[in-house]
Structure 1
């Protein structure tokens, strides 16, 4: 058997597969394809998904007075025809 070249990649792939299985289970429940999920199992799925998927919560960026985050720098690009003055 060939040696695994990237064990981290293998772990990430395994984690993604397990996460998708949890999501599929919840979707099946939400769509009425399965009758119910036990309360303890539902809580376990919730905890595991929090650890593997972003929760899409709002994030506020803030800085201090000397280094504010909300400063917008404008970069302007002007196209000029060559030899326009001739």
Structure 2
């Protein structure tokens, strides 16, 4: 007997729909940019695609976290390793 498939939650369904829509935008933009198909995109639609992609995909820009010379940012103050022994070794 085949196992029953779990029904995805509403949240998972929404994430799946968003991913599909995002991939459709990327595919359309890529086809336009590479002239793979006879696709016309006007400036308003291109701007809308750009806005939607910024909201749904990371832009892969690098971020540097720092400080000034006199006051650098120290994210890690100390790393400490402790070995804890139980009070009763017999459990």
For normalisation by structure 2, the TM-score amounts to 0.63
Corresponding residue for residue 16 of structure 1: 19
CA contact (8 A) 1:29 1:35 kept: yes
- The yes-or-no answer on 1:69 pairing with 2:75 is yes
Contact (CA 8 Å) 1:63, 1:69: kept in 2 or not? Answer: no
Residue 45 in structure 1 maps to residue 45 in structure 2: no
Contact 2:22 2:53 in 1 (8 A): yes
Contact 2:66 2:73 (8 Å CA) reproduced? no
Unaligned runs of 5+ in 2: 1-6, 80-91
> With structure 1 as the length reference, what TM-score do the two structures score?
0.67
Cα deviation, residue 67, structure 1 = 5.8
Conserved in 2, the CA contact under 8 Å of 1:29 and 1:36? yes
Residues 67, 73 of structure 2: 8 Å contact kept? yes
> 1:54–1:66: structure 2 CA closer, same or farther, 3 Å change rule?
closer
Deviation at 1:60, TM superposition (A): 1.1
The residue that corresponds to 2:31 in the other structure is: 28
